[in-house]
Structure 1
Amino acid sequence: MNDNLAQKIDVLLIMKQLNILIDKAKTSSFNLWILNRVLWRVIPFNNPHQFKIESITDKSVSIRMPYIRKNMNHIKGLHACGLATLCEYACGLQLMNVLGAANYRIIMKDLRMEYFYQGKTDVSVTFNFDKKQADTLLKDLNESEAVYKTFELPVYDANKNHICSAHVNWQIKGWDKVKTKM
């Protein structure tokens, strides 16, 4: 077996395990706690932010970004890049949850942010994406090798102020269509 195929199999096994853990987290606060810890470890870039998945269902995910020093900019507001990362994280996680991480490769193509209000408390983002939306997307995917889809995610602070909105564009394709070079 060549190294490229072995690496692809490893990725698919990890993605399948992620989907199992996500499914358990939907009905168990303990497994939700585990999911948060696992994702902090396997996505080390996100670890310092301490993003916390508050809930995950078949229809939506809600994630909180705490107002802590590591998330602040030089004027003690939440850092713009941290807010962008929060939105990418929420959107990507829910896409993997509904579409199946082991079935489709989901990769961000581009991200555009609009900022409205300075974050001075914890903020939260909720991204809604369900089976009905997935079916529409997969119908388009049957007609092409890859689909590009942009989603909007508004972020609110603890006082319900609209802090920012992200416009995240994803490329979605079947793992069998992914070509990689080593």
Structure 2
Amino acid sequence: MHRVDVKVILLGHGAVGKTSLLERFVNERFNESLSYQNTIGAAFASKQIQIDDQKLVLGIWDTAGSERYDSMTKIYYRGARAAIVCYDLSNQATFNRAKYWVRELRRVEEKCRIYLCGTKNDLLEMGHEPTPSLEAVEIYTSGIQAKFFITSSKTGENVCEMFREIAEDFLSDPNNREELKQELISISVNDKRSSCCAFLHRI
């Protein structure tokens, strides 16, 4: 797919599971080895999702979590319509890092919707304690007017539901729907022009 209707950016500390989250959503699988690999720069994947009678292509950028890539990451989240800011549910430091990205987004991309994503819920089910508490995170999420999802890429819990809600939220804005219509008209016109040019080239 070359068309992207909604640019989504994955942000968060290294090893919180951003790449696993992407793998689970796009390819519907969990690869344990991805949990130990650090993304360099950014990786990209796209997937089409249907909401009622509307098809949307989500273009998802998985960014590096290391601080040394911060300046590079900022390039990728410009123009994002949605940001999934991830943290490890059992790791306070990764939550602090998530708050940093929220501040960055608010400063640069004010219209970007934020979805705070607590990852690795399977670890909590094994007895790990949430740090910070889920109540504290919910209060924080409400304060920044974002949505909070608890996920597990290993089990698939809430992963598809989160991306579906991103698509639904995007379509709930009439301005976004109008933009989609205009883009489809533009693509249709360009396709016709391309066919014409290709025909003339053969002559």
Is TM more than 0.5 here? Answer: no
Structure number with larger C-alpha Rg: 2
Where is the helix percentage greater, Structure 1 or Structure 2? Answer: 2
Where is the strand percentage greater, Structure 1 or Structure 2? Answer: 1
**Superposition TM-score, scaled by structure 1 size:** 0.29
